[in-house]
Amino acid sequence: MSDTDKSLNKMDHLEDLFAAARSAPTELPGPLQASLLADAQRVQQERTSARDTASETSQLLSSPQELSRQIWRQFVSAVGGWPALGGLVAASLSGLWIGLAPPSFLPDPVDSFASYSSGSQVVSDLDYDVSFLLSDEVFE
């Protein structure tokens, strides 16, 4: 019973502190408020100028060459710039090389495709025992 009374007293003390905090709202310091408002005004001006530039650019992109350049710039920007595009190209070429000339511990897809397309692999694939697959020993 005494533990409950102590926890209630602590809660009452906290409730008093919260009530005092709610009764006196704090104001932003003047320099912080001025900095926030100046930053907001700068962002609004940048967005307005970007919107104006975008409308001018759309009028200038009348030629297909200029349009393809703009699309390429947007793609490079979306990928992450030239360093990221270089990494993407290097990884793609590495994957292509590993696929065409795999290391000795990986199966060669060209050899397996050649043996499969020659017909010998097709006949050996059809030469399995269906009764073995349906036996109870497989499912145990």
User: How many CA within 13 A on the CB side of residue 3?
Assistant: 0
pLDDT tens figures, 63-97: 778 888 888 899 999 989 999 999 999 999 999 98
Q: Say whether pLDDT at 33 is over 80.
A: yes
Q: Where are the domains of the chain?
A: 1-60
140 vs 137: CA distance, rounded Å = 5
102-120 tens-digit pLDDT:
777 777 766 766 666 555 5
Q: What is the pLDDT of residue 108?
A: 72
Give the end-to-end CA distance of the chain in Å, rounded to a whole number.
Answer: 62
